[in-house]
Amino acid sequence: MTPDTNPRYHRGLEKLREIDGQAGERVIASLADIAPDFARYLIEFPFGDIYSRPELDLRSREIAVVAALTAMGNAAPQLKVHLHGALNVGVTREEIVEVIMQMAVYAGFPAALNGLNAAREVFAAVNAEGGSS
């Protein structure tokens, strides 16, 4: 089955665009020359299967992802993409900051500081683009 005929791929691509917009598409495009199959897996499994499940809305899912990536402490590029996604699906800047601060309790202050720095960069980029998210 090719991506063109795979319903998981199409469902995932739609969900990726809904959440991450251009930021998600840039991630997929960045893999084209080195690992196009990995890009397809990223679309099919996380977005086509998991994000498409009805039990949580996208806002809740992005809050969970921001928390998890912050707690990891070593995933700043992915955190920035999902910070954009969180803003895109209606999470406020204040909520993002609170989620990241909460991670200091469980992942430590360095992880939370790294998360806050990533949020600062994303918020500044959104401001520069003229966004209000």
Calpha distance 116→4 (Å, rounded): 39
* pTM for this entry: 0.89
Calpha distance 12→7 (Å, rounded): 8
Q: What kind and span of H or E run contains 52?
A: none
Dihedral of the alpha carbons of 120, 126, 86, 31, in degrees to the nearest 10: -100
User: pLDDT in tens for each of the 133 residues of the chain?
Assistant: 666 788 999 999 999 999 988 888 888 999 999 999 999 999 999 999 999 999 999 999 999 999 999 999 999 999 999 999 999 999 999 999 999 999 999 999 999 999 999 999 999 999 998 876 6
- Mapped onto helix, strand or coil, the DSSP state of residue 83 is helix
Domains and CATH numbers, the chain: 1-54 (no CATH), 56-133 (1.20.1290.10)
Alpha-helix runs per DSSP H in 31-91: 36-42, 58-72, 76-88
